[in-house]
Amino acid sequence: MSHSVELAGIEMIFGAVRAVERFSATVEGGEFFSILGPSGCGKTTVLRLVAGFIQPTSGRIVIGGKDVTEQGPHQRPTSMIFQSLALFPLMPVWENIAFGLEVRGVSKAQRRRRADELLELIALPGFGDRMVHELSGGQKQRVAIARALAVDPEVLLLDEPLSALDLKLRQHMRAELRALQKRTGVTFIYITHDQSEALAMSDRVAVMNAGKLQQIATPRELYANPATSFVARFVGETNEFAGRVRDVANGLAAVETRHGMLRGRAGPGVKSGVEAALYVRPEAVSLSVGAPGNRIAALADRLEFEGAVAMLHARTNDGAPVLAAIANRRLDEAPLSGGPIQLSFAPAEALVLAHG
Amino acid sequence: MASLIERFGRGLGGLIMLIVALWLLGLVLAPNLMMLDFSFRPNLMPSQVGTSADRYTIANFVALFSDPVHRAIFFKTVWASALVTATTLVATYPLAYWLAKRASPTGVALALVALIIPFWINEVLRTLAWYILLAFNGPLNAVLIATGIIAEPVRWFGDFGVLAGMVYAYILFMLFPIYNSISTLETAQIEAARNLGASTIRIHRRIVIPHAKAGIATGCVFTFMLAAGSYVAPALLGSPGSRWFTEIIYNWFFEGGNWNRGAAYALVLLVLCMMVVMAALRLFRVNLADVAK
């Protein structure tokens, strides 16, 4: 099993900027762990701290049970894939892949053999003598992965490596990365601002905002039970109704909103009297009249067909947007735009989170 | 050429081209052709010019290589210029790398100002500053004696003085091409190499220097040409033992009154410089177009 990575109370201060605030997380050996957040949230800083390019202002970094906080990037059992890939343009592909071995004094014949093996692994056999500029975006991507894997790292650090690829290729590479991770058993720490990427590939996801860790959870948990309002808004589409909590009973909170009393599961720290917001996913919102639970009157605005579902954009009485996902096979029942509709959702499908 | 006409019209465009052509022909080509002509003629009294004695000969070139002193000074100028180039490269490369990749924006601004301001003073005066610094009773000797590094003052003028003066005089010609080329290297490549375990030396050998090759070649070519053609530094900071080939050429023209031999010597220096440049470019596997960029 590959090494685990333990971050204990990491803080990173650049001058007056607190890039990372008291970040603690444990990445299990062999896990595909993503750090998700908007740009500038400090996620890349966390990755560079794990790689050893920068030293934390305070806190410890432990890899495989060994404290590496003071070690440089070349002493750690990590290998990084850069956002720009940073392949060496003046070397042929095989020398790129074998660069880490060249550094370790491996003989040329062995280097070449290992490079060819890795080219097999990334499904680019015979590409060893090409130059980097002759490769397509996806091929460069795979060469960068092979180069990082050539040194047999315990932990692979990936800094948004798919961001330069087009959508189709990105989706393909997602699957490939995931499969490669399972096959090699290497611990992956993957940085991304694309929530669908994080949800699709990861065993667990850490969500960051403004230097602070928001939540660490499995993708399903993250989607179903966001711990903070930031996570609720950032991961997936959601509807938000702000208000004040009237009372909490049996794990359900009643929130007084401008659309009347709405009920949902009470999140952490939700008690009567606090300012809070109720979050409900578009797919939990239904159009059926007479359904039990929360009801909101709205005007249908427009219907956006997305393939598997159609997204109904509606407006509440005071103009706030509401989204409802309508399954393809029920499209015939969809309302005409401009018409008044009743939206409803079950309290169990909604979550109430305190502000902050 | 067509674009010039298109932009400025037939009249003005034609005029610009005419001026450029005159400049090239009159100020570049003609003097060099005259030099070439001079170098292959004997040095004659005015009355003999145009007589049967005035015919082409290679005697001036033969004279250079048959005179052991001139020959020695010629070859010394070649290798000493190469030494100046190598020393300037070694002194400049770390600075160029620091400026391009390590320094903060303020650091870069300060360093560039500090480097450029001395070059607002003309070359002769700058060399004169070194003349004062390196003088027998000058500040350098005083400091070295005061700190106990040397017991007796050293005569710096000569080979050392010339080397120091030239390295200083040409440092910017080496620095800027290298700085520019290192600046274009993506920093992530250096980080990637370090991440893969490469030592500093290997990072430079395998990543930075190959990338900056054209800039290094440009800097070396500039510095070599300037050093080989230098006159002020050897004249001021040299000694009889460190005479430069340009001084001999100067002497033929202005002291010896033999323009023909001076022209021949100058031509040999020119051809040599061109050969060195071509050899350097081939060695670095860079072509002339890269250097011109």
Q: What is the pLDDT of residue B292?
A: 60
Interface check for B199 against chain A (CB to CB < 8 A): the answer is yes
Q: What is the pLDDT of residue B286?
A: 75
A88 chain-B contacts, CB cut-off 8 A: 189, 192-193, 206-207
Alpha helices in chain B (DSSP H): 2-22, 30-39, 59-66, 68-97, 105-116, 123-133, 139-146, 159-183, 187-195, 200-203, 209-211, 213-228, 232-237, 245-250, 259-284, 288-292
Output the CA torsion B148→B153→B154→B156 (10° steps). Answer: 110
Q: What is the pLDDT of residue B289?
A: 67
Interface check for B45 against chain A (CB to CB < 8 A): the answer is no
A83 chain-B contacts, CB cut-off 8 A: 188
Q: Could you tell me the pLDDT band of residue B105, with boundaries at 50, 70 and 90?
A: very high
Per-residue tokens: B148: 């106990």
User: What CATH number was assigned to the domain covering residues B68-292?
Assistant: 1.10.3720.10
Dist. CA A137–CA A334, nearest whole Å: 42
Q: What is the pLDDT of residue A356?
A: 60
Beta strands in A218-274 (DSSP E): 239-249, 252-257, 260-266
Measure in Å the smallest separation between the Cα of B174 and chain A Cα atoms. 23
B185 chain-A contacts, CB cut-off 8 A: none
B291 vs A92, higher pLDDT = A92
Which residue on chain B is closest to A156 by alpha carbon? B195
Question: Contact A80/B195, CB-based, under 8 Å?
Answer: yes
pTM over 0.90: no
DSSP state of A342: E
- Residue B153 sits at φ, ψ, to 5 deg, of -60, 145
Nearest CB to A86; choose among B192, B198, B206: B192
Measure in Å the smallest separation between the Cα of B225 and chain A Cα atoms. 29
Burial (CB < 10 A; 0-12, 13-18, 19+), residue A71, is middle
Q: How many CB atoms neighbour CB A302 within 10 A?
A: 10
Q: What is the pLDDT of residue A1?
A: 67
Interface check for B264 against chain A (CB to CB < 8 A): the answer is no
Q: Could you tell me the pLDDT band of residue B276, with boundaries at 50, 70 and 90?
A: confident
- Residue B148 sits at φ, ψ, to 5 deg, of 80, 10
List chain A pLDDT tens, one digit each, 356 residues.
Answer: 689 999 999 999 998 888 999 999 999 999 999 999 998 899 999 999 999 999 999 999 999 999 999 998 988 999 999 999 999 999 999 999 999 999 999 999 999 999 999 999 888 999 999 999 999 988 999 999 999 999 999 999 999 988 878 888 888 888 888 998 998 899 999 999 999 899 999 999 999 999 999 999 999 999 999 999 999 999 988 999 999 999 888 889 999 988 888 999 998 888 888 899 999 999 898 887 666 788 888 888 888 888 778 888 888 888 888 898 887 776 776 666 677 888 889 998 999 998 76
Question: Contact A103/B197, CB-based, under 8 Å?
Answer: yes
Nearest CB to B197; choose among A74, A87, A90: A74
Structural domains of chain A ordered from first start: 5-229 (3.40.50.300), 237-354 (2.40.50.100)
Q: pLDDT averaged over chain B?
A: 89
B186 chain-A contacts, CB cut-off 8 A: 84, 86
Q: What is the pLDDT of residues B251-266, one digit of tens each?
A: 999 988 899 999 999 9
Which residue on chain A is closest to B207 by alpha carbon? A88
Q: What is the pLDDT of residue A110?
A: 95
Which residue on chain A is closest to B203 by alpha carbon? A103
Q: What is the pLDDT of residue B112?
A: 92
Percentage of chain B beyond pLDDT 70 is 97
B162 vs A167, higher pLDDT = B162
Residues, chain B, total? Answer: 293
ipTM of model over 0.95: no
Measure in Å the smallest separation between the Cα of A150 and chain B Cα atoms. 9
